[in-house]
A and B are shown apart, each in its own frame.
Chain A
Amino acid sequence: MLKKIIYKILFLSLSVYSFPVFALCDIISSVDFEKLIHKKSPVTLIFFSSWCSDCKDELLEFKKKKQMKENYILVNTFDSPGKGEKTLKSLEINDLCIYDKKNELAKKFHVDSIPKNFLIPKN
């Protein structure tokens, strides 16, 4: 019985260790987005798309800046739902990501080309 429990604990811990959970690009309301920005500011928004070749370099650069991750939000825009997650998974990036439904955030921040980084100052 004890053996079984130990095996189960071992299996579970190994599973968690070997299969990291990658970021889901969440769809959030504009109110929740404002709250999130307020909470995390100063924060940099990184707008990216799964089809944009330049975004790969940008995301890999972001991945290197591990110590600054707290101040970044990835925004998957001009894209179909689910594509951003696939991209982040392929680059092994597991961080906060928002899916920009109907490109509303891109419009709000006047993002017309990608990748684009946008710094939001404190408060």
Chain B
Amino acid sequence: MANLKKISAFCIMLVSGIIIKNSYACSSCGSSVTSPLVLNQNENLKIYLGLSQNSNYMNYGGSEVSNTTRSVNKMLSSRKTLTLSVGYRVNEDSFVTLTGSFLQNEGSADYSNSSAGTKVKYLYGDPILAGRYNLVNMEIGSTYRPQVQLMGSYKPSIAKNMVDNDGGAVDTVGNGFHQLSGGIDFWWGMPFIQFGASQLITYSFDRTPHNDWGDGKTQEKRTRDLQYTTIVTVGHVLKDLKLAIQGGVILDYIGNENSYLKEISTGNVTTVSRSPSQSNSVFALAKFHLTPKDTLRFSYTIGGAYDGNLGPFTNSKQTTSDTALVAYERTFF
């Protein structure tokens, strides 16, 4: 039946006309590197299938070093992630995406004992429901008029995480917070050198895990202040090669995180604070258009890319890693 439909569609095409020229318009945005799916106005249903590997895990601010000094993370050595995302256009100006992921963590079975070997853990990640609204569209007549998109997303904490004390770094993946994000994305896609910027603010809902903290204490509540993510992107499209290349930086700031601990015997509550953390990454991204409907995407991100003093942007109190990604995108209609 499906074949019959394809044959009839092809016949209609032959009878009614011939496509004499195709193009490979590139959907993009200022935060393209962190967003699996961005839909052009002519795209209504699109999927994304990505495979990435994180490696070179480093800690800023380990147990015996300052918050801005980097040391090797002995707990986690690699993480492979399979990401599946579906994007659907709701109307002319907006679309929603739903993203899910499956992961394989690999790391030390016992990081205090190097002879204990490694262990592998399979997990699912937190799903993300996101949406974008095109406030302003680019225009051929106005080269420097940007595409302006409002972004919003919700991430429930479903995956195993360290807030709920579900184990060590190898056994966990989520940050443990239900999170709401909102932001704005600018993309100048008309000039010869394309560029973009986006700003995202993430609100983390307080958690009340009531779990065992050890030393006769329970963790009554965990809070995290606002997270600010800034992405700056520069790009160029090589039309003859059907290739779009981009590069840029990701600046990520996470506010204070507080754990409220209750002593079981006395009922006294004390607070353990984790100071704000900062991580700066640089990325390179290439999108190759196999056909007008099929795109291959490759990217490489270096976490904690610069170790020097960047004032308030100095890498601090954070775990970073490098990420290599290969992904396939398909537009259905």
A residues whose Cβ falls under 8 Å from a Cβ of B? 44-45, 49-59, 77-80, 83, 86-87, 89-91, 103, 106, 109-121
Q: How far is the CA of A91 from the CA of B9 in the complex (A)?
A: 35
Residues of B within 8 A of A45 (CB): 17
Q: Is the CB of A53 within 8 A of B190?
A: yes
Chain A residues positioned under 8 Å from B142 (CB to CB): 90
Interface string of B126-154 (1 = CB under 8 A from A): 00000000000111111000010000000
Find the A residue at minimum CB distance from B92.
A80
Interface residues of B (CB under 8 A from A): 9, 13, 16-25, 40-42, 92, 137-142, 147, 189-190, 237, 239, 292-293, 331, 333
Shortest distance between the CB of B18 and any CB in chain A (Å): 5
Asked if A112 contacts B42 (CB within 8 A), the reply is yes
Cα–Cα distance between A59 and B108 once the two chains are bound (Å):
59
- Shortest distance between the CB of B331 and any CB in chain A (Å): 7
Looking at the complex, which one of B17, B20, B237 makes contact with A53 (CB distance below 8 Å)?
Answer: B237
B138 touches A116 (CB 8 A): no
Pick from B25, B138, B190, B293 the residue with the most CB of A within 10 Å: B25
Given A113-B293, A114-B42, A52-B140 contact (CB < 8 Å):
yes
Q: A112-B293, A116-B23, A119-B20 are in contact. Are A87 and B139 (CB under 8 A)?
A: yes
- Quick check: B140 and A53 within 8 Å, CB to CB? yes
Q: Say yes or no: B237 contacts A119, CB within 8 Å.
A: no
What's the least CB distance linking A85 to chain B, in Å? Answer: 10
Is the CB–CB distance between B20 and A117 below 8 Å?
yes
Query: Does the CB pair A114–B92 fall under 8 Å?
Result: no
B23 touches A113 (CB 8 A): yes
- With known contacts A116-B21, A117-B21, A91–B141 Cβ distance under 8 A: yes
Out of A78, A91, A119, name the residue touching B18 (CB < 8 Å): A119
| Chain A residues closer than 8 Å to B138, beta-carbon distance | 50-51, 53
B19: chain A residues at CB < 8 Å are 116-119
Knowing A51-B139, A52-B140, A87-B141, the reply to whether A114 touches B17 (Cβ < 8 A) is no
A89-B141 in contact (CB<8A): yes
The chain A residue with its CB closest to the CB of B16 is A120
Residues of B close to A52: CB separation below 8 A:
25, 40, 140
Cα separation A117 to B92 with both chains bound (whole Å) = 23
Q: A54-B23, A87-B141 are in contact. Are A49 and B13 (CB under 8 A)?
A: no
> Is the CB–CB distance between B189 and A53 below 8 Å?
yes
Q: How far is the CA of A55 from the CA of B21 in the complex (A)?
A: 12
Residue in chain B with minimal CB distance to A87: B140
Q: Are B20 and A54 in contact, CB atoms less than 8 angstroms apart? A: no
| CB-CB under 8 A for A49 and B190, given A87-B139, A112-B331, A114-B25 | no
Closest chain-B Cβ to A8's Cβ sits at a distance in Å of: 33
Could you tell me the distance in whole angstroms from the C-beta of A113 to the nearest C-beta in chain B? Answer: 4
Instruction: Give the residue name and chain of the B residue nearest to A108 (CB).
Output: B16
A113 with B24: CB separation less than 8 A: yes
* Complex: chain B residue closest to A42, CB-CB: B17
Contacts of A53 in B (CB 8 A): 25, 138, 140, 189-190, 237
Chain A residues positioned under 8 Å from B141 (CB to CB): 50, 86-87, 89-91
